[in-house]
Amino acid sequence: QSALTQPASVSGSPGQSITISCTATSSDVGSFNYVSWYQQHPGKPPKLMIYAVTNRPSGVSNRFSGSKSGNTASLTISGLQAEDEADYYCSSYTTSSTSIFGGGTKLTVL
């Protein structure tokens, strides 16, 4: 069974940097090269922040960056701002030609 594990919550103060991890708990994600990250504010649809591990869609602030090491992908937000407070989800393609989401991380800006 494929699964992506994220911390339930992270927090940081304005101006700081935070990192949200996303760990694959099985080999079903293959090379883990198709990881994407989404931001979701309450009552809103998700917004794509990072795709294919490190790529940022046009219009997304360069304060957001993605990386990967082994079976763990990470989303880093630098220069934290109040508007960054939201839920964040990672997602990955699997070798079964399906897609899975992590459980989500609630980011609180203190």
Partner 1 sequence: EVQLLESGGGLVQPGGSLRVSCVASGFTFSTYAVGWVRQAPGKGLEWVASITATGGSTFIADSVKGRFAISRDNSKSTLYLQMNSLRAEDTAIYYCAKAVYNVGWYMGFDHWGQGTLVTVSS
Binding site for partner 1 (CB under 8 A): 34, 36, 38, 40, 45-48, 50-52, 57, 87, 89, 91, 93, 97-104
Judged by beta carbon, residue 16 or residue 99, the one nearer partner 1 is 99
Cα angle for residues 25, 28, 30 (degrees, 5° grid): 105
Question: What's the min distance (Å) between Cβ of 108 and partner 1?
Answer: 17
End-to-end CA distance of the chain: 36
Question: What's the min distance (Å) between Cβ of 15 and partner 1?
Answer: 28
Listed in sequence order, the residues at least 6 apart from 44 whose beta carbon sits closer than 8 Å to its beta carbon are none
Judged by beta carbon, residue 16 or residue 55, the one nearer partner 1 is 55
Question: What's the min distance (Å) between Cβ of 60 and partner 1?
Answer: 10
Nearest to 78 by CA among 93, 66, 94: 66
